[in-house]
Amino acid sequence: MQIVATKMKALALGAALAATSFTGAFAQDVDAALARMKALMADQGVTLDWAEAEISGADATLTGVSVTSDGTAEPIGDIELTGIADAEDGYRVASIAMPTYTATEAGGTLTLTDLVMDEVFLPNEGVEVAGGEIFFYERAALGSATLETDGREVFSLANLNVEITPPEGDGELAFAGGADQFTADLSVAEDPKHTEVLTRLGYEQVAGSMAFAGSWAAGEGRLKLSQYDFVVDDAGTLGISFDVSGYTPAFIKALRETSERMAASSDAEQSRHGLAMLGLMQQLNLHGLEISFDDASLTTKVLEYAAEDQGISSADVVNQTKAVLPFMMAGINAPQLSQALTAALSQFLDDPQSLTIRAAPANPVPFSMLLAAGMASPDALIQQLNLSVTAND
């Protein structure tokens, strides 16, 4: 019996030592991960701090969190981190959550709820992460966002989400997401004339949704936005897609640094930083672009509004507009573009369905060439871009 008792004591001691060892290992990983998160934010010119860090196993709750940028500290509430673990080339966090955030400035109050990032990777120093300058995440969601002015809600957003698929090797990173609904109170416009127009059109209060998708290959900086649809209910859908190269991590870093210098510079230095910004733009190349508008009664309402003001019919407004379009287009000094726009707009006004502007160059066009050609010869630019304008595709 004494032998058994001795063995039981040894097992209990071993279990206690193992538990202590694992707890210590978790705490070390959590402390190191928190320190790395601070360092990554500092690399972006932002100081992240907190009053207290409560660590429990592989989880941590940060209370009294604040961020400091440009010398101004801003409290952001509490942050919860779960599933923190050491990983190859960094640390992984199963989830980073901020339950609520409220900020008040210039008479407006912004409130965010249920902000979450899942499968977060915090890279070690010197480790490049495709898809994130600070850290990489695979999913992010925002439950709601509201903006209030003088106690009145002027904007809200519900269920914003983003999903990112990591690249394999040197492949593309894929992303997709959107928001289920947004609302906006446009009646708060300061100009009474604008308010009157919105009231007559029936757009004092608007609602809608948004969706986006695309990919990014960090090596060549190939950024493809395959979908960006901004939908306003009972108005229409604005769709944008593009394909550019040169949008590399180095370009992003240089762009951010130049923007920061511009923001902090005097008026006399603005032109110099502006030239630097133009120099950066020369690194980008356009492979394709499409901008479209699918009508959902906005055009009809605008035509009826104009007809009511003039005391004529909507059909008369359409005919008048089609008659003056060639003269309006003549001012841009681009006959080919004028002809294409006039034909497409005339067709659209007769039957408002959709308008599409599409650039499909045979070869990538540097942004610097776009600027130069646009100023020198708009028609030459149209040919270079293989630009087309169509209606009701």
Residue 182 counted as domain residue: no
Residues 157 and 204 sit within 8 Å (Cβ to Cβ): no
Residue 55 counted as domain residue: yes
The structural domain count of the chain equals 1
Residue 73 counted as domain residue: yes
Q: What is the pLDDT of residue 72?
A: 79
Residue 252 counted as domain residue: no
Residue 39 counted as domain residue: yes
Helix or strand holding residue 146 (H, E): strand 139-149
Residue 91 counted as domain residue: yes
Q: What is the pLDDT of residue 268?
A: 67
Residue 21 counted as domain residue: yes
Question: pLDDT tens digits, residue range 236-292?
Answer: 999 999 999 999 888 888 887 887 777 777 776 767 767 777 788 888 999 999 999
Residue 119: which of 171, 80, 83 has the closest Cα? 83
Digit-by-digit pLDDT tens for the chain (393 residues) are: 333 333 333 333 333 333 333 334 456 789 999 999 999 888 877 899 999 999 999 999 999 999 887 777 888 889 999 999 998 889 999 999 998 888 887 778 999 999 999 999 998 887 776 555 556 899 999 999 999 998 899 999 999 999 999 888 778 899 999 999 999 999 887 788 888 999 999 999 999 999 999 999 988 899 999 999 999 999 999 999 999 999 988 888 888 788 777 777 777 676 776 777 778 888 899 999 999 999 999 999 999 999 999 999 999 999 999 999 988 887 777 788 888 899 999 999 999 999 999 999 999 998 877 876 666 667 777 888 898 999 998
Residue 348 counted as domain residue: no
Residue-wise DSSP of 65-128: EEEEETTEEEEEEEEEEEEEEEETTEEEEEEEEEEEEEEEETTEEEEEEEEEEEEEEEEPTT--
80 lies in which domain range? 1-166
Q: What is the pLDDT of residue 301?
A: 96
